[in-house]
A and B are shown apart, each in its own frame.
Chain A
Amino acid sequence: MTAEPPATEPVITESPVLSLAGVDVHIDDLQLLHGVSVRVGAGETVGIVGETGSGKSMTLRAVMGLLPPRGHVSAGTIELAGEPLLGRSREQLRRLCGKRMSMIPQQPLAALNPILSIERQFRSIAKAHGRQRRTQTRVRAAELLAHVGIVDPARVLGSHVGELSGGLAQRVAIAMALYWEPQLLLADEPTTALDVTIQREILDLLATLAAEQRRGMLLVTHDLGVVANYCHSMVVMKSGRIVETGRTAEVLAAPKADYTRLLLSAGAIERGAA
């Protein structure tokens, strides 16, 4: 028995929201990624799975233009809705990040600034990509917070990270990521730091948000359970290479690569005969 795919089916359009083709990444002589190709369509959630050192996070960082010092994309193309991302200046990338694509942090409690109020941080997001009146920002932020399921937006806006739980902080971080209505959401292990029930709530929320605006989402995780339940298609990575890719249900039902089978057997241990 395999997992049911997420309820909403994405429409794979001619031009995907995100497309990586044959991407190599080097740091000096060390090659970190070998010909990585990933497509994320509108309304589609793609999961990248792999273990520590598989290059799954590096792929995400290549998209964001946040490679480590001296790291660079040495071959291939990365396109956001048909526009090339490579070769852009840092300033141009900065304009894109947070506006047309947004990152959802792994550890929201650490990612949010501890000394600024939530409202103040919304204001800096607003300012980063345009001019807005304070009241306008506040109204928009409160709307977004309510939209991500926060019961008392006004109180949360006035508070600091230290006063929030992990789940609440992640909701806030998601609301911030949505501020400029990005077409693409990037999430690196967005729920590893959270309890299982909170993880479910956050993932349900992300799935809803992606579906309602037909956003593309690239989800990096080590957890096959997350992929099985929330991703339309999946990419399995090992040592900087893609070892298998395809529709989630198909890959899980009949994994072709040995490594995928290994991951599956490791993940299904308590379920007995998987």
Chain B
Amino acid sequence: MSTRAEPDQKGADVSTTVPANVEPAVSPRKLPRVRRRAGKKRPRTRVAVGGSFLLLLILASLVAPLPYSPTVPDPTAVQQAPGGRHWFGTDQIGLDIFSRTLSAAHVDLLLALAGALAAMIVGSALGILASRRGVLSEGFMRVVDLFQAFPLLVVILTIVSLTGGGTLVLILTIAIVSVPGFIRLVRAEALSVRESRYIEYAEIIGASRWRVIMRHILPNVSGVVIAQLSLAAAAAVSVLAAMSYLGQGVEPPTASWGSMIESGSAGIGTGQWWPVVFPAAALALSIVALNLVADGIDAVLSRGVTNDR
């Protein structure tokens, strides 16, 4: 009577390291691994391309020597078209567009990232708290709904006009407008994580709520949170531009893409495209880069927590 499996079966079970490589046949469960390797889109490349573009842009903006001062106009060279001396041309008071576009990068991007980061921290905490079932968290979410129902610009303008502007206020504004997105996303993720068996297990062994949050929920929502960070920063860059356009953003003469587009837009009708197009292009490229990073992170994380090494 043989009731036990053969010894070699045991060996196969215990010592197998990466099962898919041992047996030529691949079960459906292991297929994603194969598909991953064969996938055409490379999320890591996306993160690398987007991330290094942004990093270079910010670094260049901070340390690279600019051909002209971004804040001191040259009255002798007003409204010059792009050319050998002024690569991106100059605006109506003689400011060099290239210098300004580049120097605005760190202003805009760092403000956006700082605001998004603040929103991420607050939003994650609130989102996880709101993922506990109960009247309180439902009520809280309705407040978030209400807040999100207000038009974005009205919210921004209200905050700025109440507080009077300044860098800190700009960061705060960005944080406030991005926080509901984080709350919503983190809450949704945390709700599904809370349904999982490993949370049930933690409950059974008597792990504290704090431990459940820190050891299980937070690590399992962190992926989407990071992806959302890039998206929120991308949105924040356009919020900053919009605020500058409305004259509520970064204070002149400091360059920001939004204020450059605003001041340059008057000349577009008379054929002076360069004061608008270059900062607009920088803005668009940055948003694309941030989205690439977000997209890539999301793809990397969604195809398995610790994928093929």
The answer to whether A and B touch directly, with their CB atoms under 8 angstroms apart, is yes
A177 contacts the other chain (CB 8 A): no
- Complex interface residues of chain A between 38 and 61 (CB less than 8 A to chain B): 52-55, 57-58
A269 with B3: in contact, given A30-B26, A262-B9 (CB under 8 Å)?
yes
Of B3, B35, B37, the contact of A68 (CB 8 Å cutoff): B35
- Chain B residues positioned under 8 Å from A269 (CB to CB): 3
- Which of B17-25, B49-57, B198-206, B221-229 lies at the interface with chain A? B17-25
- How many residues on B have C-beta within 8 angstroms of the other chain's C-beta atoms? 20
B35 (CB) vs chain A CBs: closest residue: A69
Judge whether B25 and A33 touch: CB under 8 Å.
yes
- Complex interface residues of chain A between 116 and 169 (CB less than 8 A to chain B): none
A30 with B34: in contact, given A54-B25, A57-B27, A265-B3 (CB under 8 Å)?
yes
Give B contacts to A, CB under 8 Å. Answer: 1-3, 5-6, 9, 19, 23-31, 34-35, 37-38
Of B3, B6, B19, B37, the contact of A53 (CB 8 Å cutoff): B19
Judge whether B26 and A53 touch: CB under 8 Å.
yes
Of B2, B3, B9, B34, the contact of A28 (CB 8 Å cutoff): B34
Please report the C-alpha to C-alpha distance between residue A270 and residue B2 in the assembled complex, in whole angstroms.
11
What are some 19 contacts across the A-B interface (CB < 8 A)? A28-B34, A28-B37, A30-B34, A33-B25, A53-B19, A53-B25, A53-B26, A57-B27, A58-B25, A68-B31, A69-B38, A70-B34, A240-B23, A240-B24, A265-B3, A266-B5, A269-B3, A272-B1, A274-B1
- How many residues on A have C-beta within 8 angstroms of the other chain's C-beta atoms? 25
A239 contacts the other chain (CB 8 A): yes
A194 contacts the other chain (CB 8 A): no
A27 with B26: in contact, given A69-B35, A69-B38, A274-B1 (CB under 8 Å)?
yes
- Shortest CB-to-CB span from A171 to chain B, Å, is 25
Please report the C-alpha to C-alpha distance between residue A171 and residue B3 in the assembled complex, in whole angstroms.
36
